[in-house]
Structure 1
Amino acid sequence: MGPGTWRKAYGALKDSTKVGLANFNSEYKDLDIAIVKATNHVECPPKERYLRKILFATSANRPRSDVGYSICTLARRLSKTKNWIVALKTLIVIHRLLREGDGTFKEDFLNYSYRGTILQIPQFKDDSSPLAWDCSVWVRTYASYLDERVECFRILKYDVEADRLVKLPQASGKAHSRTRTLPCGDLLDHLPALQRLLLRLISCQPEGAACTNYLVQYALALVLKESFKIYCSINDGIINLVDVFRYAKI
């Protein structure tokens, strides 16, 4: 049995063991199993049926204790694993929850994360193969982007990706983000946060063997989907700022 085959077998054994242990947790058994199966060692994106269970467990109509348990379980999964597949799939689950979950989840995640404890994993490294090494680099970069995304939400008080473009009466039918009409004081706080987020997004460029890996490409697609809204928010904010100074009394 080669090293790669042995590693896959060992990963499958760990997953089945965790599922078995989850069966003893009578209160959160289904949620534990869904998290383990969504973030298992199989090199493919998390299955939708498990993601849906996690999304339901973190929805607004669920007890806040359930949401807290979900966040803590995902954080523990991310901090303890040495496998790039498990780490990346855990980050994908968190990203999907941030994108598709309601506002209360984002608030709860912010309260539990205390910037620098959940999504900052600068020491993460899987050196089991050249692919694992290259993917580990991208996992760290992806985690940094998500961390900046949460920090941006803290400053803006809204999710830029979920922000709906609106048409202004004087804008000839063109839709704009909310930064187009923000007061100058708020704008000076929001623009630097959005620019930092954009820089993190730009750095999410895989290298080496990670470039052609399907799981990395799946996560990268989630990141790229957010680039348009971030760019629009920055662009509209700059136009707003220029207008403020243009019409300001000197």
Structure 2
Amino acid sequence: MAGVGTQPSLRKYLGALKDTTTVSLAKVNSDYKDLDIAIVKATNHVERPSKEKYIREIFHSISASRPRADVAYCIHALARRLSKTHNWAVALKTLIVIHRALREVDPTFREELINYGRSRSHMLNLAYFKDDSSAGAWDFSAWIRIYALYLEERLECFRVLKYDVETDPPRSRDLETGDLLDHLPPLQQLLFRLLACQVISFCLPSSAISPVSVFMFH
């Protein structure tokens, strides 16, 4: 029984050690030191919502006044964070940062994210992501896979519709029949992904996904 209790504690210790090491490396090796540190701290292994100040630091680094190269680097850093982690907390926090940036940051971020997906394998393809460290982590892994699909479909909707279905007023009523028929498939697919997220969310602690549900399900 002692071993069972020790494993989660060891996992948390190793996660904290990874975060500390990554921050230390960013301080000496990165041309985007402040941004890299903010990303690590906003998407750390701690199983609690990210601190708002680190998310704001990321958003400041990719605001409209910053060069496109900074935005592209941020997307690259977030993609690297997603691709290397097998921890549900890190993956979920990274997806939340991306989702909030799509809603709250200049459209340059969205454009660069779409371009990033065209130039290489899409960063939101988490079909094989899993954290099997516990039954709860396994449940979160399923939600993360569906959430990533939702965000991918959201980008596809913007590419086809040319507006943001979450933040812009709907435009369907002003469309000609042909255009409306073109818009319906991505909208239906997005709704399907949203409903899938909502169904799985019923199995998870509300506090863990509250940063997402506040702007997805209301």
Calculate the TM-score normalised by the size of structure 2.
0.92
> Of the candidates 161, 165, 177, which is equivalent to residue 160 of structure 1?
165
Maintained 8 Å contact 1:131/1:210: no
Q: Does 1:137 align with 2:142?
A: yes
Between structure 1 and structure 2, the one with the greater Rg is 1
Distance 2:75 2:92 in 1: 16
What is the count of residue pairs matched by the alignment? 213
Distance 1:203 1:124 in 2: 17
> Of the candidates 181, 204, 207, which is equivalent to residue 188 of structure 1?
181
Matched residue, 2:115: 111
- Provide runs of 4+ in structure 1 moved above 6 Å: none
Distance 2:85 2:199 in 1: 21
Q: Determine which structure has the larger helix proportion and give its number.
A: 2
Maintained 8 Å contact 2:153/2:189: yes
How many Å apart are 1:89 and its aligned residue? 0.5
Secondary structure, counterpart of 1:196 in structure 2: helix
Note the residue ranges of structure 2 that are not aligned, 5 or more in a row: none
Maintained 8 Å contact 2:55/2:97: yes
Calculate the TM-score normalised by the size of structure 1.
0.80
Maintained 8 Å contact 2:39/2:54: yes
Matched residue, 2:204: 211
- Aligned Cα root-mean-square deviation (Å): 1.8
Matched residue, 1:51: 55
Secondary structure, counterpart of 2:115 in structure 1: helix
Spell out, residue by residue over 1:184-223, the C-alpha distance to the aligned partner (whole angstroms, 9 max, x if none).
2221111211111011100003549952252223323332
Q: Does 1:201 align with 2:179?
A: no
Matched residue, 1:125: 130
60 and 107 in structure 1: CA distance in 2 versus 1, 3 angstrom threshold: same
- Greater Cα offset, 136-145 or 109-118: 109-118
Which residue identity lines up with residue 157 of structure 1 in the other structure? Answer: K
15 and 26 in structure 1: CA distance in 2 versus 1, 3 angstrom threshold: closer
Maintained 8 Å contact 1:84/1:126: yes
Spell out, residue by residue over 1:20-51, the C-alpha distance to the aligned partner (whole angstroms, 9 max, x if none).
00101352100000000000001111211111
Note the residue ranges of structure 1 that are not aligned, 5 or more in a row: 165-176, 226-250
Distance 1:217 1:100 in 2: 17
